[in-house]
Chain A
Amino acid sequence: MTVGTHDLFVVLGVIAAFIVLWIRGKPLRGRGMASLVAGGLFTGAVFAKLGTGWQYLARSDDPTLLGLWLEGGQSVLGGLAGAYLGVVVTKKVIGYQGSTGDWFAPAVASGLAVGRIGCFLTEQIGTPTALPWGITVSPEVAATMPYCPSCALGVPMHPSFLYEIVFHVVALVLLIRFAGRLAVPGGVFKLYLLAYAVFRFGVEYVRDNPDLAWELSGSQIFLLITVPIATAVYLWKRHTTPPLALEAAR
């Protein structure tokens, strides 16, 4: 497997997300959808790159901009945060008053489900496990995964990215099933993001990512910082937004 495999599934994930948004977000067509998608995609891409770029800079003896671009990887959490920020900023720029999260939620879930296939094929598998669905890789495949510490041991490992793909597929079904059923506009998307944050924090324990500090991975520390802040901002906005404005956004 090569870098191209991962990138291919990233692009396929973006395409899948766009198709689902096009289908599910039909009312949004012609009402700022293109602007919001462009803003979210660009900022998401930049933040996804920044989210893992520091790891390339840390491990490389002679880091270059080209190396950062080709080998810097992408961070799902960075991409999600960047895309969210990009859509929020674009809404301010174009003067969009409504809530769009519930249209974006199924698109994000489908994009991540497809994109994670590339991660499963090219990145570290997971921590060793005795569970019956643990998977092993051949020495030849292990040699293509330089950051997979458990691959070389030849032991069964948690298929951590498959867990994540299952999570997003189940989420996609639930998001479509319960779309528009919550009273809070954008509430379905925020619930999905919160559920993913909790799930991701847990799955990090079987993913074999290196600890950054306090026996926690970089993703876990990122979530411990951002989730309480995002939750507080959401509750504060709910508290300070006049009821009439909330009604208008529905």
Chain B
Amino acid sequence: MEPTPPDLPPEPDRKLPAWAILLMVVGGVIVIAGGICVALVVTL
């Protein structure tokens, strides 16, 4: 196994699936930006 260069952070054991990341990012923005979300829905 090749050693990790000292200036690089360690690799995580695993990564979250892309759909989970997308869900959390979109969900987070929806939670904190209610006014914008409503404006978007009304506009569209």
Report which A residues bind B (CB closer than 8 A).
2-4, 6-8, 10-11, 14, 27-28, 31-32, 34-35, 37-39, 41-42, 44-46, 48-49, 69-70, 74, 79, 90-91, 93-98, 100
For A2, list chain B residues within 8 Å (CB). 35
A42 to chain B, nearest CB (A): 4
- Give the distance in Å from the alpha carbon of A74 to the alpha carbon of B31 in the complex: 10
Could you list 7 examples of A-B contacts with CB < 8 Å? A3-B35, A14-B29, A14-B32, A31-B8, A32-B12, A34-B15, A41-B29
Q: A2-B35, A48-B32 are in contact. List 18 more A-B contacts (CB 8 A).
A: A7-B35, A11-B29, A11-B36, A27-B7, A27-B8, A27-B9, A31-B10, A35-B15, A38-B22, A38-B24, A44-B28, A45-B31, A48-B31, A94-B14, A95-B13, A96-B12, A96-B13, A98-B10
How many interface residues does B have (CB within 8 Å)? Answer: 26
> Is A95 touching B27 in the complex (CB atoms < 8 A)?
no
Report which B residues bind A (CB closer than 8 A).
7-16, 20-22, 24-25, 27-29, 31-36, 38-39
For A69, list chain B residues within 8 Å (CB). 31, 34
> Is A8 touching B36 in the complex (CB atoms < 8 A)?
yes
> Is A41 touching B25 in the complex (CB atoms < 8 A)?
yes
> Is A31 touching B12 in the complex (CB atoms < 8 A)?
yes
Which B-chain residue is minimally distant from A250 (CB atoms)?
B6
For A97, list chain B residues within 8 Å (CB). 10
Q: Please classify the interface of chain B as helix (H, G, I), strand (E, B), loop, or mixed, using the class held by over half of its residues.
A: helix
> Is B24 touching A39 in the complex (CB atoms < 8 A)?
yes
For A28, list chain B residues within 8 Å (CB). 9
Which B-chain residue is minimally distant from A67 (CB atoms)?
B34
> Is B31 touching A49 in the complex (CB atoms < 8 A)?
yes
- Give the distance in Å from the alpha carbon of A231 to the alpha carbon of B14 in the complex: 30
For B29, list chain A residues within 8 Å (CB). 11, 14, 41, 45
- Give the distance in Å from the alpha carbon of A42 to the alpha carbon of B16 in the complex: 14
For A41, list chain B residues within 8 Å (CB). 24-25, 28-29
> Is A42 touching B33 in the complex (CB atoms < 8 A)?
no
- Give the distance in Å from the alpha carbon of A31 to the alpha carbon of B15 in the complex: 8
Which A-chain residue is minimally distant from B11 (CB atoms)?
A31
* Most chain A CB within a 10 A radius of its CB, from B9, B25, B27: B9
> Is A32 touching B15 in the complex (CB atoms < 8 A)?
yes
> Is B12 touching A94 in the complex (CB atoms < 8 A)?
yes
For A96, list chain B residues within 8 Å (CB). 10, 12-13
- Give the distance in Å from the alpha carbon of A75 to the alpha carbon of B10 in the complex: 33
Closest 5 CB pairs of A and B: A95-B13, A42-B24, A45-B28, A3-B35, A38-B24
> Is B35 touching A6 in the complex (CB atoms < 8 A)?
yes
B41 to chain A, nearest CB (A): 12
